[in-house]
Amino acid sequence: MKRTTILLLVLIVSLGTLSARENSVAVGAQLGFTTTGVLVDVGLGDLYLQAGVNYPLGMTYIATYADAEDTFVDIYTFNADISQAFALSENFDMKIGLGTTAFTNFGPVVLGLAGAVVKGEYWIPNKNTGIFLNLNIPVMAYGIIEDNDTFDGGVVFNGLFPLAGLLTSTVGVLYAF
């Protein structure tokens, strides 16, 4: 059993070196309910690190139609993940890894979701442009709240957290250089 598991891991890691994207750095934009913004995707050997700075346009849309006093919410989102690419064709990569989406008001509150990330990237042949779909599958929530010199933080697991991935998943474009 151990030998089979080790062999399977070696095969997965060796397939990860084949990637549809030739360049190691890509920048782009993403669109999602809670994560609409810009991102950078950097290849680090077999692994890829992606980080984004975003604004929750979906929440602003709901606030606009709910006749809220302030339609622009004072919450910003940051996302980051680390994943490994598996080439499924000459122009299509499937990336699997771990990621997080953090919500903050640049004040005493930071809340976030963390879990698995599954991404599909299609790179247009003979171009440096690609499109992607980023599916988040959070399995835990974390938070830090600083209030009057006290520091509270914690981690929570719940079976319903994967449903939050419907709000944090994104689509977008990338440009590699």
Say what the pTM is. 0.80
What is the CATH classification number for the domain harbouring 80? Answer: 2.40.160
Tell me the pLDDT tens digit for each residue of 36-77: 999 999 998 779 999 999 998 888 888 777 776 665 678 899
Domain count for the chain: 1
Tell me the pLDDT tens digit for each residue of 26-44: 999 999 999 999 999 999 8
Mean pLDDT of 133-149: 88
Domain span at residue 33 reads 2-176
Q: At residue 22, what are phi and psi to the nearest 5 degrees?
A: -85, -35
**Closest to 63 in 3D by CA, of 74, 50, 72:** 72
The DSSP secondary-structure symbol of 105 reads -
